[in-house]
Amino acid sequence: MTKSKQIFRLTKSLVFLTLGSIITAVGLELFLIPNKLIDGGIIGISILASYLTNHPLAYYIIGLNIPFLILGYFHIGKTFTLSTLYSVCLLSYFTTQLHPVPAFTKDLLLVAVFGGIIIGAGVGLILRYGGSLDGTEIVALIIGPKLASSVGEVVMAFNVFILGIAGFVFGWENAMYSMIAYFVAYKVIDLVLSGLEESKSVMIMSEKSGEISEAILHRLGRGVTHFYAKGGYSEEDKEVLYCVVTRLEVSKLKSIVFDSDPNAFMTIEVVQDVHGGRFNKKAIHDYSAVRE
């Protein structure tokens, strides 16, 4: 990679890490915190600690993340640690600057939904560009395998515990609204990370594989890979088709396959990311000219 590309990539990451930190701070200070709602993870603990001690939130966000940053440096890497430190420091700064600003609304349902959306968008941007705001994920990566649990299960258990404590501090109604905000934020983070154009990988087994492959190419404008497998029950050689489509193209693909062979076997899975090839380029044929 050339030096100019490295500088561009670094600049782009810093811009989006900064933007993510600002957006997250807005969600916290203009929505959740003034209405005594909390987020999960270290931020949630920091909000509780700040409320109970009457010390600035920024102190806890930085202080509580330091041990996790050290763990991240040794277990994940320097780039991740520096990106996380940068994001945490900016979030602390912007929460301090926005703290005097009054709450956007006092309606707890609106706070939970829109606060969750805003925080999810901010955290999602930070995660997408190599940083983090939640040290519990680092711990989950380390202890998860030892507990025979996934990272998601460890983080979820930790956050349920934090939200339970919030019930004693802020009241159970606020804790339940906090759970709504956390769930909304979680779904938005997933959306930001996967993008609106979520991709699906599809495997198709059919006696009419040639006809289906040609139809996918001409009617959907997507390339198809052929490979061969042996049936475990019949022990017969079978041709398997593999292709990647967007979420919006799945319905059309099903129609193409089952129009050709109503007995076709098809599996569809979510693809985390797609790079290279012709997937993000214009198809071999003009899609607008061949779609139905």
Tens digits of per-residue pLDDT, 47-60?
999 999 999 999 99
Structural domain spans, the chain: 3-194, 199-290
Tens digits of per-residue pLDDT, 82-126?
988 999 999 999 999 998 888 888 999 999 999 999 999 998 898
The answer to whether 191 and 124 are in contact (CB under 8 A) is: yes
Examine the pLDDT at 3 and tell me if it is beyond 60.
yes
How far is the C-alpha of 107 from the C-alpha of 180, rounded, in Å? 13
Calculate mean pLDDT across residues 262-289.
64
Q: Is CATH 3.40.50.970 what the domain over 199-290 is classified as, yes or no?
A: no
Amino acid at 128: R
Contacts of 82 (CB under 8 A, 6+ apart): none
> How far from 287 is each of 2, 28, 281, CA to CA, in Å?
35, 44, 11
Examine the pLDDT at 144 and tell me if it is beyond 70.
no
pLDDT at 275: 67
Closest alpha carbon to 20 in 125, 129, 101? 125
Calculate mean pLDDT across residues 31-43.
90
Higher pLDDT, 291 or 157: 157
pTM score of the predicted model:
0.73
